[in-house]
Structure formats: C-alpha cells, structure tokens
A and B are shown apart, each in its own frame.
Chain A
C-alpha cells in the first residue's frame, strides 16, 4: 500500500502547428533549410509554421498500486496525449514519468487487426502486438473466443464479420490482457449496449479483484464513476483538479467548455437535416433546474428545451418534436406537441419556443437530441436526426439520491409490496 506505480512529473508535450497539419515533403524542408541563415530565431520574421501548441503542460500524477483512475476532460484537453506519453507511443517534450511493471495500453479496439486475416489469426496478431506472449494467448484462447461470442466464424476472415462482431473480438483480446498497469482510452464507446456492459464488468473485475492499476479515459461519466476511485480533470492540457471521482465529475459537468453545456445556445445551422426548410430549428439549449448537477439533466428530473425557429414564410406547425436517441440511434423519447394538442402559428422571422419535459425517465448516460417540425398536411419542414449529444448525469452527490446503475436506459418507479 502507498506505493506509487505511476509517477509523472511536470509532463509536457509540444507540437508544431505544421506537424498537426500533416506530413511534410522533402522540398519544403530543403526550402526552409536554405532560408534558415536569413532568418533569426524567434524573430518576428519566423513563419507561421513555427507556431507551436502545448497539447499537455506540467501534468504531474501519482498513482498507487491497485488504483483505478479516470482521466476526464473535454475535447482537446490532452487526455489522449497523456495516455500516449505514458504508453510510450509519443515522447514528452518536457518532464518525466516512471512506471513500474508491465504496461499494456488499449487506445483503440482492434489494434493489429487485419480484415483479410481470420478471427483466429487476428486474436494472435492483436494479442502479440498488445504485448501478450504466445503461450499466454494459447492459454486464454478459448476464454477470448467465448467472451467475443464469434465461435462458428473463427476461421472466417474478419472482413466478413459484422462490425459488432469485429468489435467484440477486438475487445475480447484486449480484455484478456493482464499487464500490471493497464491504460485504456474510450474503447467502451463501441459495440452494443449488452456488450458494453460486459466490457465494463470485465474492467471492474480486472481492477478490483486482481489489484491491477488502471488508467481510464472516457467521456462516459457513468462508466468513470462506476470504475474509478479517483479522477483527474484536464483542461486545455493542464491538470486542473484531482480527487474523489464524484466531486471531479461534478466539476467536469459544470465547466463552461462542455460540448453542449447545459443552458448555453447550441448552433444548429450546420448540422445535417432534411425537409422543405419553411421552418428550421437553428439554435437550441437545454437545462434542468438543479444546480448540483451543473444544470445537467438527471434521471426523473425536469428537462427544459429552448429552441430558436426560423421561418421563411408564415406557417402552421401542429407537430414540433424533440426526440432523444441512444448512441446507437434507437429512438427513446419523442416529445411531440401534436400529442399535447398544441399548434404553433408563426409569422416569418425568428421565434423562441420553450418546451418542458417535467420528468425525464432516462438513466445516466450520453444521448442524442434531434428535432422535427411538420406542417398540417404532413409536410416535413425540418428534420434534424442528430442535433447534439447531451448527458444525463448520474451523480453520487447529495440531493440527487441516486447512484449510477446499469439497469437499462429507462427509469421506473418501484415499490416493494410484500415480502414474506
């Protein structure tokens, strides 16, 4: 106990903007080289190519043996960069880190897979590249196949597999990796719900019973809270908070650069849509009335949706719907004004409409919100299948009285009637 397995001290990673832009050609470098004598370092004449960006800066960590630590943060916060440095895929620009024990990293599902190879061949290939010994793969082979549930297709090239099967097999290999330190990035964001649950269960086993150290990056706050005892919040490359998971998750959800921060207007002018365009949803925002969750919706709590609708000509809208889908596109909730018997009559111009769902019966998780505007004769004015993603928070925080569960997507009331 009390023994640091991972220690990172002021890690930093700097990229040249030009590196981000893509591979250079030899000619470009030769031209630069020829110009170099005429250019003073750091002078105003330096080209835009020399501009740099810190993907990660002064991040220090200390992780004890057997800890499961979640790394959370918005897009571009440096989560992946941190994992890549600790996995030795990229080298840091400054600082250092030390890791004790065999490190296994899982930055995508199916590393080393090749679509032309059979399932069996891919299990060996992927296992070997993730750091397993052949004897180890031999020993776990049956277990892996059972976990992936691809039995009869073992000797079929994986290009003939469904994408779900490919993911299952890929994760099954990864899940049987047994390094002392496991670094995992977002791999759970794939596969069907049933399989995701299985993966989470497996990760839990690995962490809890085997005493391995796990570093886990995810956008799925539910998974982070269920798996991780501690979390680190990154923002713009810096570690801004670390501590017990619920507090850090709450801080993350309340931050202002959230992808669809609750309460702020989300621009929908460039999302994919169909429809005649007589009326269009151009902006949306949503919030709950609870401040503990940072205004985020939570199970059985209220959800208010504000819309900005632009109309090209005067129109009547009997059907205005806000739809919630799961990440696989299954329609879960369709809140339609037609059911409420309310018809909107709008003049040309911009209108603000507010809808309220008093109780949102969704369990914690990430969902997608879409919109629908239709005219009296069934003419579709505007259909937005995916407007944005929103998170139903499952906070282990006071006041909400709800721990994260994996009991399906929809909540229900339950009363215990009798017990003998």
Chain B
C-alpha cells in the first residue's frame, strides 16, 4: 500500500556542473548491488568448460611463464623466495586488479541497455564488477597457500592483513575504473586503451621483479602506484624476508584516496548524460 504523503520527494533539474555525491541514495541500493554482484558471478563462467577453474588457472599459468622467462632466463632476483612463489604472491592480487579494472571500465558500456531503460545509481555497475572479482581473488589466494605448502613455506601471522591489502587492491582498481568507465560511455577508444594501460601498469608494479631494484631516489614517486604496495604487502605476508610496508603504504593509501574521491566526483558529473550518449 502506498504511504499517504510519502517522505520521498524527487526533484528533477537540469544538471549544473559539479554535484555533491549522493551517498544516502547509494547506501539505500545495497540490495541491488548484491544482486548485480551475484549476477556477475553467475554469468562469468556460464558456458565455459572449466568454469571457476579459470580463477585458479590464470595466475598459475602466468606464474609458470614468468618463472621460465624472468626466473630462469633473465635470472631476476626474487627476495630469497623461490621464483614461482615470488611471482605467484604478486600475481594473485595483480590478476584480480587487472581483471577488475578492465571489467569495471567496460561495465557501463556492456550494460548500456540498463542505462537507457531504468534509473539506479550508476556507480553500482563498476562497483559490482570490482566486488565480484574478490571471489576470484579469494580462490586464487587459497591456491597461493597450497603452493606455499608445496614449497614448505609457512606463512607468517602477518597473513591477517590480507583483507586490508585486498581492499587496497579493490580501491586501486575502482579509482581509475570510475574515470575510464565514464569516459568509455562517450569515447569507445577507452576500450582499446585498457589492455595497453594494464600492460604498462604491470611493468610499473613489482610483479616480475623485486621492488628493491628501484633506485632509492625514485621510491617516493614509485610508491604513488598503490599496486606496488599491494604486491609488496602480499610478499611481506608470506615471507618475513620481504620488507615491511611503511611510508610507501601511507603514500599508496593517500594516492588511492585522492584518485577515488576525484573519480567519484567525475563519475557523478558524467553520469547524468550517460543515457544520452551511450
């Protein structure tokens, strides 16, 4: 039954420049977010033979290739860890980050039929893509633990920090994805930029090499890449040999916070014209 004189009043006006973030409306949509995440998970491995095994295979196969190329042939230093473990510890968060970034950036364009037919907080689409990926991250993290056991490495108690690093990885993916997703609606060029961006970003992150290789004077600049701290964090959790995150981590959080806030405002500004231009 409709409430008499309901409290909800919607006012519709032409957009004027930067608008404040409507966090209350966003919070009210948590159920829809849940369904969008669920849908993304259910659809991801539909009509694939291996199904969720892809979440396991992707980092494992990349680990094998990296081990041969960078571990055996290039003989890169691996902080005293066996190279496969060294690579996998980085590939687990990195694979999550790369997939989440790509999927969130394409989320609006791929679901354009929703944008033009129904209203809901648009932010839910990229956010759902980033959250859905966390399930794959959890699966591949278990694989990492298995590989550690295989090599007889006992993870340290620092492992309890994994949710914090997962969160940082999620925020690192969401922040640029907000910009890219909004731009993608207008310029389909973005779709082609993403794989390239991810590739460059891979080399700016200590995935195949150790961050100790980076010269001291470049460290502050290097630390602005939050994924660097995530990868270092994962290595630090499994092996006490890795260096503890400190100043770099603070810088990473700061850079993510700034990029994310700016991204939210940018997204908010752009979202009003999504249905017009998609």
Contacts and interface: CB of A to CB of B under 8 A. Distances in A.
Contacts of A102: 2, 6, 8
Given A19-B277, A111-B114, A116-B46, A100 B14 contact: no
Interface in A4-25: 15, 19, 23-25
Interface string A197-228: 00000000000001110000000000000000
A90 B10 contact: no
Nearest to B12: A97
Interface string B212-248: 0000000000000000000000000000000000000
B117 interface: yes
B267 to A, nearest CB: 15
Nearest to A95: B14
Given A91-B272, A93-B14, A129-B32, A25 B39 contact: no
A24 B186 contact: yes
B273 interface: yes
Given A25-B188, A107-B117, A111-B118, A133 B31 contact: yes
B35 interface: yes
Contacts of A26: 187, 189-190
B11 interface: yes
8 contacts: A23-B186, A23-B277, A24-B186, A93-B14, A97-B12, A99-B12, A121-B39, A180-B3
Contact of B13 (A27, A92, A179): A92
A86 B119 CA distance: 10
Contacts of A29: 187
B51 interface: no
A129 B2 contact: no
Contact of A98 (B5, B9, B35, B43): B9
A29 B186 CA distance: 10
Interface of B: 1-3, 5-6, 8-15, 31-32, 34-35, 39, 42-43, 46-47, 113-120, 185-190, 272-273, 275-278
A52 to B, nearest CB: 12
Contacts of B1: 210
Contacts of A100: 5-6, 8-10
Interface residues of A, number: 51
A72 B177 CA distance: 41
Contacts of B113: 111
Interface in A363-395: none
Contacts of A96: 11-14
B119 A101 contact: no
A128 interface: yes
A101 B5 CA distance: 8
A94 interface: yes
A120 to B, nearest CB: 11
Contacts of B2: 101-102, 178-180, 210-212
Contacts of A125: 35, 39
Contacts of A212: 2
Nearest to A122: B39
A324 interface: no
A91 B277 contact: no
B118 A129 contact: yes
A342 interface: no
Contact of B120 (A94, A108, A114, A129): A129
Contacts of B10: 88, 98-100, 103
Nearest to A87: B119
B13 A107 contact: no
Given A97-B11, A99-B10, A128-B35, A25 B189 contact: yes
A194 to B, nearest CB: 26
Given A97-B12, A112-B114, 19 more contacts: A19-B277, A25-B188, A26-B189, A27-B189, A89-B115, A90-B275, A90-B276, A91-B15, A91-B272, A92-B12, A103-B10, A108-B117, A111-B113, A114-B43, A116-B47, A128-B35, A129-B32, A133-B31, A211-B2
Contacts of A130: 118
Nearest to B39: A125
Contacts of A84: 116, 275
B118 A23 contact: no
Contact of A89 (B6, B13, B118): B118
Nearest to A179: B2
A370 B186 CA distance: 43
A211 to B, nearest CB: 7
B36 to A, nearest CB: 8
A220 B210 CA distance: 69
A84 B278 CA distance: 15
